[in-house]
């Protein structure tokens, strides 16, 4: 199990609905306090704080009455994603002070750490998959592409549909305490490559174009960052729950791995794809 997770609760106080967040570390708490103020002063909609306590690393904020994007479907989802992409463009252009952030930068070397963690959590993956030399070659190609990206954007780090709330005509942003600087494609991949949204690749490419047309990046570059982002999701799920036969695995891990396999295939990385097939089903697809 992951230790030191953030704790949240909704409660009423004199008829007013409020939201409480207790952060596991002082650094996350201070980052959340600073960024709440920073976003408010830069016209990014975030829950307004009511009370903050350094003693308990706790923030009590207004409760946003609305729908998380993860609960939306159809045209309203697509329109909300378009709004979220335009908002993301604005967030990436902001320049908060580094010393107040949870971390300075997102590092490509983090990918190696996550893959090693998956091998540790799932020893059968390393044992059963036989083409590790080819896997490492493709991984090296992927990392080379990732390392060429510029790191000047201010990243939310978890810019996904659970953390975006549609309230009226506004998109509210939550869960930004781990923000840092890095490549803008991390956040865009976080938003668009979510298995729970059930987006077709044509829809993802069309939505991504709204952002990518203002950058030097291609859709293939975004696919590379989608692998990085999806690997992180798989690793975190494995840390949270490690029983592949469980309902949790079927409902969350399997779609995440299937998305990862599809992206690897789209980038013509057959050995990466086969290895994740092995991880998904305990089988080697020759």
Looking at residue 242, what is its pLDDT? 56
Q: What is the pLDDT of residues 229-278, one digit of tens each?
A: 999 998 888 877 655 556 666 677 888 899 999 999 999 999 999 999 98
The 10 Å Cβ neighbour count of residue 125 is 18
Q: What is the pLDDT of residues 157-208, one digit of tens each?
A: 999 999 999 999 999 999 999 999 999 999 999 999 998 898 999 999 999 9
Q: Which two tokens stand for residue 216?
A: 């030097």
The residue ranges of every structural domain in the chain are: 1-63, 67-281
Same-fold call for 1-63 versus 67-281? no
Angstrom distance (rounded) from CA 285 to CA 257: 14
* CATH annotation of 1-63: 3.30.200.20
Calculate the alpha carbon distances from 85 to 1, 36, 154 in Å: 33, 20, 14
Angstrom distance (rounded) from CA 274 to CA 285: 6
Among 114, 231, 110, smallest CA distance to 182 is for 110
pTM: predicted TM-score of the whole model, two decimal places: 0.92
Fold classified for 67-281 = Aminoglycoside 3'-phosphotransferase; Chain: A, domain 2 (3.90.1200)
């Amino acid at each position: 199990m992951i230790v030191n997770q953030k704790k949240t609760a909704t409660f009423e106080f004199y008829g007013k609905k409020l939201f409480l967040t207790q952060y596991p570390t002082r650094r996350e708490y201070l980052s959340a306090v600073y960024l709440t103020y920073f976003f408010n002063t830069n016209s990014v909609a975030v829950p307004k704080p009511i009370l903050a306590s350094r003693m308990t690393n706790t923030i009590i904020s207004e409760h946003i009455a609305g729908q998380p994007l993860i609960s939306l479907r159809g045209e309203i989802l697509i329109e909300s994603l378009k709004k979220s992409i335009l908002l993301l463009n604005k967030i990436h252009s902001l320049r908060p002070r580094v010393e107040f952030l949870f971390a300075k930068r997102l590092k490509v070397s983090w990918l190696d750490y996550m893959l090693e963690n998956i091998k540790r959590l799932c020893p059968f993956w390393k044992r059963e998959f036989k083409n590790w030399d080819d896997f490492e070659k493709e991984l090296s190609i992927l990392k080379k592409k990732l390392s060429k990206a510029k790191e000047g954007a201010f990243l939310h780090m978890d810019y996904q549909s659970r953390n975006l709330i549609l309230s009226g005509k506004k998109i509210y942003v939550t869960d930004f305490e781990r923000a840092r600087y890095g490549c803008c494609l991390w956040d865009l991949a976080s938003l668009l490559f979510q298995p729970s949204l059930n987006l077709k690749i044509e829809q993802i490419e069309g939505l991504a174009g709204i952002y990518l047309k203002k950058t030097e990046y291609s859709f293939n570059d975004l696919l590379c960052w989608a692998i990085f982002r999806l690997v992180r999701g798989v690793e975190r799920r494995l840390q949270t729950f490690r029983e592949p036969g469980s309902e949790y695995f079927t409902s969350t891990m399997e779609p995440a791995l299937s998305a990862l396999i599809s992206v690897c295939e789209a980038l013509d990385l057959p050995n990466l794809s086969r290895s994740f097939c092995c991880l998904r089903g305990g089988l080697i697809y020759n």
